[in-house]
Structure 1
Amino acid sequence: MSEKQNRIIPLELAGKRLDQALAQMFPEYSRSRLTQWLKKGQVSVDGEARRPRDTVTGGEAVWLEPLPEAAVTSKPEPLALEVVFEDEDLLVINKPAGLVVHPGAGNLRGTLMNGLLHHAAGLVELPRAGIVHRLDKDTSGLLLVGKTLTAHTALTRMLAEREIDRHYEAVCNGVLTAGGTVDAPIKRHPVDRLRMSVQADGKPAVTHYRVKERFAAHTHISVKLETGRTHQIRVHMAHRRHPLIGDQVYGGRLALPRGGDEALADVLRGFRRQALCATRLELAHPLNGEPLEFQIALPDDFQALLNALRRHAKSMAGDD
């Protein structure tokens, strides 16, 4: 358990709700967590229990006794994790396609969370073992983990305030003439609960994309997320009628380009995951503010897909 902390409410916070004042006084903890501790009696003001909505006058003595997180029940497992960066506060992992991030029905073992708990035992005390955002099972690439409660809270706040830039590369069906932005709200599909869909009453979702390379019937794009909804890039590109190659949920029929040989057809048929990789992260270090940038190469299967499309595009140009 963390040590009990004592602080005086500054006079400039007079008139604020207690939970708002606490969030400013203890920025290392989220407001929701502080509210939970208030309700559990882990916070006292001038020696008395108070409600989150109570107004402060300034000058009161606050005692806070943080509780450790007890939500993570997964077991540590020795998994081969590709660590891109690690210090006392932050961990950046290159997640391979096929690795589930969080345990769930049918995936209780062998997840990224199980591997993280083996890599750094202290993560058991953090929400979601410190994982700040998720990647779909079949999406590869960079994923952030906060190693301390202070770092995890800061990273979660930075993500919510759009202070972390997440860049992806993808290959979609169809030939895009130019880049653009998809600004379309997303929520759970009304019938198929495993899918997300664009709906007017969904949560705001904004995806920026630009063309990197055009092929005969496909386009290699770079994507930057402004928001982070479940399946956002996949849903938005399918909404634009340019679903990602290999997407088993939103992809529709396989697109075989005119004049493609059997080798290209085999590559396209064999690519059975969405062609999507989180290739770059840009952020300020959650504790010292140092600018950080992480970038990885595309995985082998993604690169092989691009090479096959390039060979075909070159052969078609030669025919012309």
Structure 2
Amino acid sequence: MKMPKFIVEKTEAPLCAVDFLRLRVPAAPAAYLKQLLKKGKVRGRSGVLKGSDLLQAGELLQLPDSGRLLELLATPAACLQELRILYESREILVVDKPAGLAVHAGQGHEQANLTDQVESFLLKRGIRFKVAPVHRLDLETSGPVLFGKGKQACGRLGQLFMRQEVDKSYLALVAGRTPGSGRLESQLTAKGKEKQARTDFRALFRNEQASLLELQLHTGRQHQIRRQLAAQGHPLFGDKRYRGPCPADLPRMFLHCNRLAFVDPFSESPISIESPLPEDLAIFLPCVNITL
């Protein structure tokens, strides 16, 4: 098995070793590359490299003869998911998360995730400071995710969520005919503690088989929408965990964040970001006699 090698170009110096590898092996999860460096598997001009070591132009890097690494190197760029940017400013980036992509890497295992992709996207543009999401969406849920560029931006954006100054609305398809509108208020248990959960909803379309709802969260409890609607006898389509109907024609849980609105804490301008219902969900609606 041939040992992979890289030569640092002038335009890439000075980059730290981990950022260089992320540019050269874009298909690799950041956690995997960090482990290679941590285990002393990457060598440079001065010997074993640490992730923080700065590389110089012309420096030769030797990587381990790993089958997985060679597979990642062979992954064509066309196979990598492109980011859909919904909004960007100097301090803020909002990205449309597809279903099936985690916001963060899973604990104890490596996987492709949105945060890695955002960091790589900014790195290619020469932006090397830390970025982080200030909220999350479940793995199967699609829609906008707000990232802060740098520690200060993350802190100020996080405060908006803590003060409940971010409006988030969702589209969900649920079983049965719901009321035309209403408010769901309940106590949800999280980590052994009961916390209040409040959600407003209105029905966009409804029949005896299903209802398409637009929901606005006033609190951010785990699985809040899914748990509250299931408790009302209207579980989400595709939600196996809370016993929703799971027809073969539906590829995933029918839950999409369609709007994110807040006041930019830096420019003080109102920001409203919309994400249309993805095609994989929209094409299922005629199956329950709903048309947009």
Q: Is the TM value for this pair above 0.5?
A: yes
Q: 3-state DSSP class of the match of 1:205? A: strand
Give the corresponding residue for 1:277.
256
Q: Could you list the per-position Cα deviations for residues 36-94 of structure 1 after superposition, in whole angstroms to 9, with x for gaps in the alignment? A: xxxxxxxxxxxxxxxxxxxxxxxxxxxxxxxxxxxxx7459964211111121111111
Aligned-pair Cα RMSD in Å: 2.4
Residue from 207, 210, 220 that aligns with 1:215: 207
Give the corresponding residue for 1:292.
271
Matches within 5 A, 1:127-276: 129-188=131-190, 201-254=193-246, 268-276=247-255
Q: 3-state DSSP class of the match of 1:120? A: helix
The 1:86–1:178 alpha-carbon spacing in structure 2 relative to 1, beyond 3 Å, is same
| Alpha-carbon shift at residue 167 of structure 1 (Å) | 0.7
| Alpha-carbon shift at residue 106 of structure 1 (Å) | 6.6
| Alpha-carbon shift at residue 101 of structure 1 (Å) | 1.1
Once residues 79 and 272 of structure 1 are traced to their aligned partners in structure 2, the CA distance between those partners, rounded to angstroms, is: 18
Q: Could you list the per-position Cα deviations for residues 218-252 of structure 1 after superposition, in whole angstroms to 9, with x for gaps in the alignment? A: 00000001011111111111111110000121134
Give the corresponding residue for 1:305.
284
| Alpha-carbon shift at residue 253 of structure 1 (Å) | 4.9
Aligned-partner residue type, residue 303 of structure 1:
A
Contact map agreement 2:256 2:277 (CA 8 A) in 1: yes
Give the corresponding residue for 2:104.
102
How much identity, in percent, do the aligned residues show?
Answer: 30
The 1:286–1:123 alpha-carbon spacing in structure 2 relative to 1, beyond 3 Å, is farther
| Alpha-carbon shift at residue 187 of structure 1 (Å) | 2.3
Once residues 206 and 271 of structure 2 are traced to their aligned partners in structure 1, the CA distance between those partners, rounded to angstroms, is: 31
| Alpha-carbon shift at residue 174 of structure 1 (Å) | 0.9
| Alpha-carbon shift at residue 189 of structure 1 (Å) | 7.7
Q: Which moved more, 1:207-216 or 1:78-87?
A: 78-87
Contact map agreement 2:251 2:280 (CA 8 A) in 1: no
Once residues 191 and 252 of structure 2 are traced to their aligned partners in structure 1, the CA distance between those partners, rounded to angstroms, is: 21
Contact map agreement 2:165 2:262 (CA 8 A) in 1: yes
Contact map agreement 1:247 1:272 (CA 8 A) in 2: no
Say how many residue pairs are matched: 215
Bigger radius of gyration: 1
Structure with the higher fraction of residues in strand conformation: 2
Aligned-partner residue type, residue 257 of structure 2:
A
Q: 3-state DSSP class of the match of 1:212? A: strand
| Alpha-carbon shift at residue 105 of structure 1 (Å) | 4.1
The 1:151–1:102 alpha-carbon spacing in structure 2 relative to 1, beyond 3 Å, is same
Q: Could you list the per-position Cα deviations for residues 172-231 of structure 1 after superposition, in whole angstroms to 9, with x for gaps in the alignment? A: 0110122111111222487xxxxxxxxxx4122111111110133100000001011111
| Alpha-carbon shift at residue 162 of structure 1 (Å) | 0.9
Once residues 160 and 214 of structure 1 are traced to their aligned partners in structure 2, the CA distance between those partners, rounded to angstroms, is: 34
Q: 4+ residue runs of structure 1 moved beyond 6 angstroms?
A: none
For normalisation by structure 1, the TM-score amounts to: 0.62
Give the unaligned 5+ runs of structure 2: 1-29, 35-71, 73-79
